[in-house]
């Protein structure tokens, strides 16, 4: 589903991603852990083409993201050509990014109606089904400022799912929540994982990574230090850098 090949990214001459390579298979959950500044969020933004690469390539579902090969040359796609690729990649951010002037239902149906040209009645029916799935069927007429942080994040997940993505990216989706609200968001994410959704999750929730991930990736200093199954990574990390990090956070 996702092939990341020798990706490099710089900000102001500073290397943020250094030859990062990773493969994620369809239906797998990959959790990326590591200290702040490791490049985890930048990697997600590169997958969704919210950041341009300085080297390497990313493929999602067999298609190179942001570029196409013309003859023997690599041609960068214009934004209008990138948008259809991005429509197949759902992303949930740390902050919920809901439209404050729109109701929950309106937030969810906007992209399907405007981007995918789904009929409004169909979009509403599908949005209500998604709200039922995330436990918020009774909140369709509420505005974001009337919801808790956990509820807003669940709406954000439903909004991403409304585009029927083949891949879901989660950028520390619980980091902005009060501790007592974290569980309700993780429950929705576990349900997604059990349904077979391909997911890449940047997270500090080690319990979630241990329980749900197929693969855990540890990043530090812009590189993937190691990756493996949760059992191997948490019980027998192969690198001292990984062991030191896990000793601090577990």
**For residue range 146-196, what is the model confidence (pLDDT) as tens digits?**
999 999 999 999 999 999 999 999 999 999 899 999 999 999 999 999 999
Q: What pLDDT is attached to residue 97?
A: 87
Distance of alpha carbon 139 from alpha carbon 151, whole angstroms: 9
pLDDT at 67: 85
pLDDT of amino acid 82: 84
Question: What pLDDT is stored for residue 236 in this prediction?
Answer: 96
The rounded mean pLDDT for the chain is 94
d(Cα 175, Cα 137) in Å, to the nearest integer?
Answer: 24
Instruction: Check residue 80 and give its pLDDT.
Output: 81
What pLDDT is recorded for position 119?
97
Residue 20's pLDDT is: 98
Please list the rounded mean pLDDT of every run of 10 residues in the chain (250 residues): 96 94 98 96 95 93 86 82 85 91 97 93 97 96 96 96 96 93 96 96 96 98 97 96 95
């Amino acid at each position: 589903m996702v092939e990341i090949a020798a990706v490099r990214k710089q900000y102001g001459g500073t290397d943020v991603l250094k030859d990062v390579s990773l493969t994620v298979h369809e239906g797998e959950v990959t959790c990326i852990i590591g200290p702040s500044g490791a490049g985890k969020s930048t990697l997600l933004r590169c997958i969704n083409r919210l950041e341009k690469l300085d080297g390497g390539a990313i493929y999602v579902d067999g298609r190179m993201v942001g570029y196409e090969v013309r003859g023997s040359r690599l041609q960068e796609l214009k934004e209008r050509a990138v948008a259809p690729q991005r429509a197949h990649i759902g992303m949930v951010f740390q902050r919920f990014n809901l439209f404050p002037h729109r109701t929950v239902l309106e937030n969810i149906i906007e992209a399907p109606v405007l981007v995918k040209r789904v009929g409004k009645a169909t979009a509403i029916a599908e949005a209500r089904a998604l709200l039922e799935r995330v436990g918020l069927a009774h909140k369709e007429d509420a505005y974001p400022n009337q919801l808790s942080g956990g509820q807003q994040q669940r709406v954000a997940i439903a909004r991403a799912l409304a585009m029927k993505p083949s891949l879901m990216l989660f950028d520390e989706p619980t980091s902005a929540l009060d501790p007592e609200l974290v569980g309700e968001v993780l429950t929705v994410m576990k349900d997604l994982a059990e349904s077979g959704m391909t997911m890449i999750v940047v997270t500090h929730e080690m319990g979630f990574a241990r329980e749900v991930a197929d693969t855990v990736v540890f990043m530090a200093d812009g590189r993937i230090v190691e990756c493996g199954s949760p059992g191997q990574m948490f019980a027998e990390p192969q690198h001292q850098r990984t062991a030191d990090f896990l000793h601090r956070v577990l």
